[in-house]
Each structure stands twice: as C-alpha cells, then as structure tokens.
Amino acid sequence: MHSSEKSAGRLSGKVALITGGASGIGRSTALLFAREGASIILADLKADAGKRVVDELNESGAHAIFEAIDVTNAGDCHRIVEHAIREFGRIDILFNNAGIIRRATVLDLSEEDWDRVMAVNVKSIYLLSREVIPHMQKAGGGSIINTASGWGLTGGAKAAVYCASKGAVVLLTKAMAIDHGPHNIRVNCICPGDTDTGMLRDEAKQLGEDSSHFLAESARRPLGRVGTPEEIAQAALYLASDASSFVTGTSLVVDGGGLAGS
C-alpha cells in the first residue's frame, strides 16, 4: 500500500482497537480498516491466529500490533489500552467484537456457560470502554462499535444466554451513547444475521446438526443466503467513519432481511 493510497482512506490517521480480531468479522474488519488507512491494535485469545492477521496487515503496508488478552479480565484490558497508547498515542475507534455463543435452553445451560457468555459478550464491553473512553475524551471524541446480534432484538430457540447477552449489548450501547455523546463519543452496535464464520459452524456442532443443513436453514431469509464477514465489516466501517457523524445510540441490522418479517 503506497502512502498516497493510504492518505485517501476513510480512516486515514485513525487508530482502531479490535477485539476478537483473529478470525471472522474481526479479521475482515481489521483488513478493511487498514486498507482505509487506520492503524490497528488487534486483540484475541488465539495468539497464533492473531499474529498471522497482524503479519498480513503489516506486509500490506499497514501499522498493526497484536496482543493476546482475555477481554473478560480487567488487567488484560488495561494492559492492551496502555500498549495502544504507547504505540500510537491515541485510540479513535474501539470495536468490541469478541463474542461467543452457547446454544441451550436455561434448563440445559450450565452456570459456567451462563457466566462465560455474559462475561465475553457484555462485561468485556464495559471493561474496555472504561479504559478507552478517558483517552477518547482527551482526544476530543471517538467511535465505539459493539457487536450485538439480530437475537439482541428478537428471541431465538435454544439460545437463552446468547439472546440475553446480545439484548444487553443493545441497551448498553444506547445508555453509553447518552452518557458520552457530550464528549463527541459516538456509540453504536451492529446486529448481524447469520454470517459465514467459524462461530456459525460451531453452532451446528453444539446443536448436533449437519453443518450444510444448518447453513441452508440459516440462509432462509429474503436475500436467500448468509452474510459474509466482509459485509459486516462494511457496516463497521460506516459506523467508524465520518460518514456516520450524526449516528449514535443505534442498532444497525445487517441480516439480509432476516428480521424484516418478525
């Protein structure tokens, strides 16, 4: 990537912290944000996969660093934000994208799974936002993007804790938008429909279903297919960029029409 190309990007000069960045939506968003001129700090539990993404970014001419962290651990969240500030001096975009799913009713769900899903999907947003917002305030603003889900807006079968966690993300997003709007910090969430990632295939496994049958069922929506990680990344780019300068507190549904009839 030549510097002249980079300067034309929609995120030129910006710094983005992306969690769950080693694969799926996080990886696609990191690649897209870098192409648009952003410097990237990538966080994930999976160290090898995360380093591979960062190598790919740096080889393309971007400036990217990786840190293996547990987003549910307050100390880890503090450490990665301090690392980002030392390296880049600022954080303009926080993409709270790390997430997990457990497919079960409340009767079949273990207490450990309940706690883990709520911690990864909700508590991590609180922990990282608490670290990042003071830096955004000093810099005069920023954009926080949270990954919610279509199941944060409507219920789904055998997904009790996932629906609960993503519903929490939707309302946490709105509450944060109210609190931090006066500091020019915009807070929005994306509600993806089924997207072709490892997590979607893992759902099939958890339910004991054949993955090709599960994917075919997932494609039953007006556009007749599941989404791609790149399509969700484009929504994140919109919310990260100045194109959405008057957008805060919103839930952007990107689901091929899946919720349209519900």
User: Which tens digits make up the pLDDT trace of 152-169?
Assistant: 999 999 999 999 999 999
Cβ-based neighbour number of residue 164 at 10 Å = 18
Query: Residue 8: what pLDDT?
Result: 72
The fold of 3-192+228-251 is Rossmann fold (3.40.50)
Instruction: Compute CA distances 228 → 26, 142, 175, 198, 256, whole Å.
Output: 12, 26, 29, 12, 11
**Position 191 confidence tier, pLDDT thresholds 50, 70, 90:** very high
| Domain map (residue ranges) of the chain | 3-192+228-251, 195-226
The predicted-structure confidence for 46-56, as pLDDT tens digits, reads as follows: 999 999 999 99
> What is the number of alpha carbons within 13 Å of residue 101 lying toward its C-beta?
25
Which among 162, 163, 229, 233 is annotated as catalytic?
162
pTM: 0.95
pLDDT reading at 77 higher than 80: yes
Q: Which residues pair with 145 in a beta bridge?
A: 95, 188
**Could you confirm whether 126 is annotated as catalytic?**
no
